[in-house]
Amino acid sequence: MLSLVTFSRTFPNDPLFLSTRLNLSGLNLIKRSRSNFCAN
């Protein structure tokens, strides 16, 4: 996670990296909601 922050500071204006990071966070949200749904 720390390396990701450092990477974003190194390339703050990279749209591809920003969209990839958004996609990864979205996938994490989907995984979390699915695990919660399975738990219920």
HEC-encoded secondary structure of 9-35: HHCCCCHHHHHHHHHHHHHHHHHHHHH
pLDDT number for residue 23:
83
pLDDT number for residue 36:
79
- CA atoms within 13 A of residue 30's CA, in its CB half-sphere: 6
- CA atoms within 13 A of residue 32's CA, in its CB half-sphere: 6
pLDDT number for residue 7:
58
pLDDT in tens, 1-40: 456 666 556 655 667 777 888 888 888 888 888 887 777 6
In angstroms, how far is the first alpha carbon of the chain from the final one? Answer: 29
Domain ranges in the chain are: 4-39
